[in-house]
Amino acid sequence: MRWMSGIFRDIREKTAQMDREQKLEYIGTYYWYHILFVAAGVGLVFLVIRHLFFGEPEKEFTCLMVNQAVDYERDESLQRDFGNASGIEPERVSIDSDYVFSYAGKQLEGVNESSYEKFFFRWGNGEVDAAVMPESFYRYCKEVEYEFADLKDILGDMETEDEMGLWQEHILEEEGRWEGVYLKDTPLMEYVEEEEGDPAILVCLQDEVRQEAIRAFFMFAVEGK
């Protein structure tokens, strides 16, 4: 670049009779803003390259927490604990509680209602594997004709009668389909709050990809492993 060449030539000419210390002092005094500009440009290029080629790793599992307290430390703790239990790197797990909103039959004050649209957009776009939600929101989704995945297709056959009995205690069954898991008295309740009369449930929002990770999360939620 010509302007850079001109700057270097100007510095050489004006510091020709100076020793090393004097040259550094001169450059720092009269060209500090040029140095800052170049450093900023290099930093910007580095960030762009990092974003394009070394961005966040692709998520292997994503779970949204609907109308739970927005608690990023809790979310990170759940990501870490599930990752350690399942063998999935915690960086590839996303637990997001930034989904507090109103819906028919549930009016909340002082919330970011745009998260309502974001929830359904991400669900429809296939970005979300599971969600923790109040049963009233599950019923609302059913009323507006959203469909939940059948957990029978995800969980497969239970290994023992005791295991089957444990799951039967928690299964939310609709017309022969296992459409959710009631979380009361499950290990996942360590991370979840529920309102009296409106129990928290865990549902599966898609069953076409990442089935192994989804199954692992439901096993972690109910069996703690």
* Amino acid 183: pLDDT: 97
> CB-based contacts of 90: which residues, under 8 Å, 6+ apart?
79, 80, 82, 83, 84
Please state, in angstroms and rounded to a whole number, the distance separating the CA atoms of residues 199 and 112.
Answer: 23
pTM: 0.74
If one counts the domains in the chain, the total is 2
* Amino acid 39: pLDDT: 67
- Output the average pLDDT for the chain: 85
* Amino acid 225: pLDDT: 80
* Amino acid 217: pLDDT: 97
Residue type, 31: Y
Q: In terms of domains, do 48 and 79 share one?
A: no
* Amino acid 25: pLDDT: 72
Q: In terms of domains, do 119 and 170 share one?
A: yes
107 vs 2: which has the higher pLDDT: 107
Contact (CB, 8 A) for 132 and 138: no
Q: In terms of domains, do 42 and 65 share one?
A: no
Please state, in angstroms and rounded to a whole number, the distance separating the CA atoms of residues 169 and 159.
Answer: 16
Q: In terms of domains, do 151 and 198 share one?
A: yes
Quick one: what percent of the chain has pLDDT higher than 90? 59
Q: In terms of domains, do 18 and 77 share one?
A: no
- Residue 214 reports pLDDT greater than 80: yes
Please state, in angstroms and rounded to a whole number, the distance separating the CA atoms of residues 191 and 176.
Answer: 29
* Amino acid 211: pLDDT: 92
* Amino acid 68: pLDDT: 96
DSSP 149-163: PPHHHHH---SSHHH
Please state, in angstroms and rounded to a whole number, the distance separating the CA atoms of residues 59 and 37.
Answer: 36
Q: In terms of domains, do 169 and 199 share one?
A: yes
* Amino acid 146: pLDDT: 94
- Residue 47 reports pLDDT greater than 90: no
Note the residue count of the chain.
Answer: 225
* Amino acid 30: pLDDT: 62
Q: In terms of domains, do 180 and 78 share one?
A: yes
Q: In terms of domains, do 144 and 182 share one?
A: yes
Q: In terms of domains, do 174 and 113 share one?
A: yes
* Amino acid 132: pLDDT: 98
The model's pLDDT over 152-200, given as tens digits with 9 standing for 90+, comes to 888 876 656 666 777 888 999 999 999 999 999 999 999 999 999 999 9
CATH number of the domain enclosing 189: 3.40.190
Q: In terms of domains, do 147 and 215 share one?
A: yes
The model's pLDDT over 92-139, given as tens digits with 9 standing for 90+, comes to 999 999 999 999 989 998 888 899 999 999 999 999 999 999 999 999
Place of tokens 């999360």: 217
Q: Which domain holds residue 18?
A: 2-53
Contact (CB, 8 A) for 192 and 136: no
For 16-27, what is the mean pLDDT?
A: 71
Q: In terms of domains, do 175 and 99 share one?
A: yes
30 vs 123: which has the higher pLDDT: 123
Place of tokens 């004006």: 14
Q: In terms of domains, do 66 and 13 share one?
A: no
Contact (CB, 8 A) for 148 and 206: no
